[in-house]
Chains A and B, each alone.
Chain A
Amino acid sequence: DAMVIQNPRYQVTQFGKPVTLSCSQTLNHNVMYWYQQKSSQAPKLLFHYYDKDFNNEADTPDNFQSRRPNTSFCFLDIRSPGLGDAAMYLCATSRHKNPYEQYFGPGTRLTVT
């Protein structure tokens, strides 16, 4: 089945130690998104790629970076995680055409110790 895969499902990192979360998709969608979701809150968009075109949200901290080496894969790099970065990180994809419904992966729950 076509799907969005995120690895790992659970990630523990130390304060200040760089961490990379990965997302892959078999849907062949043009657009890939990274969201941060904290407990009992709505997802917050960090950035998205339309093909290779990177779109950063204005309030996304510089500590968060992303790479998309090809259509199938997208990575979220947190250069120096702080305690406040502990959250669920959701990857999503959508087609380039309307209605842009987004298909989400299972998420990676990040703990910062």
Chain B
Amino acid sequence: AQKITQTQPGMFVQEKEAVTLDCTYDTSDPSYGLFWYKQPSSGEMIFLIYQGSYDQQNATEGRYSLNFQKARKSANLVISASQLGDSAMYFCAMREGGAGNNRKLIWGLGTSLAVNP
């Protein structure tokens, strides 16, 4: 069955340092997409980065990069040069299936990140 696992309930990082948030997934579908979202205390869910299962390169968006290791079924989020505003809950999510019908996301339980000054 499809599943997303985030094993770190909480993480701390010093400002300006890099941090890696772990995400492993389980699926039997060869075509899938992986997403990371940030949720600050205000509640809004903010899309950060996407990785498709057939993408050859690891996705990057500014300070965010996705360390995609397909054989290990992991999709870790790396935040470089942490800022105080990065303190938030981070969710990893997966969508199965290629372009077409499946629009539902499977969500992990989230990792709470605190950036220390």
Contacts and interface: CB of A to CB of B under 8 A. Distances in A.
A41 B103 contact: no
Interface residues of A, number: 25
Interface stretch (B22-30, B39-47, B63-71, B80-88): B39-47
Interface residues of B, number: 22
Interface string A40-53: 11110100101000
B31 to A, nearest CB: 9
A37 to B, nearest CB: 8
A42 B91 contact: yes
Interface of B: 33, 35, 37, 42-47, 50, 52, 91, 95, 98-99, 103-105, 107-110
14 contacts: A31-B103, A42-B107, A42-B108, A42-B109, A43-B45, A43-B91, A45-B104, A98-B33, A101-B47, A101-B50, A102-B35, A103-B47, A104-B37, A107-B44
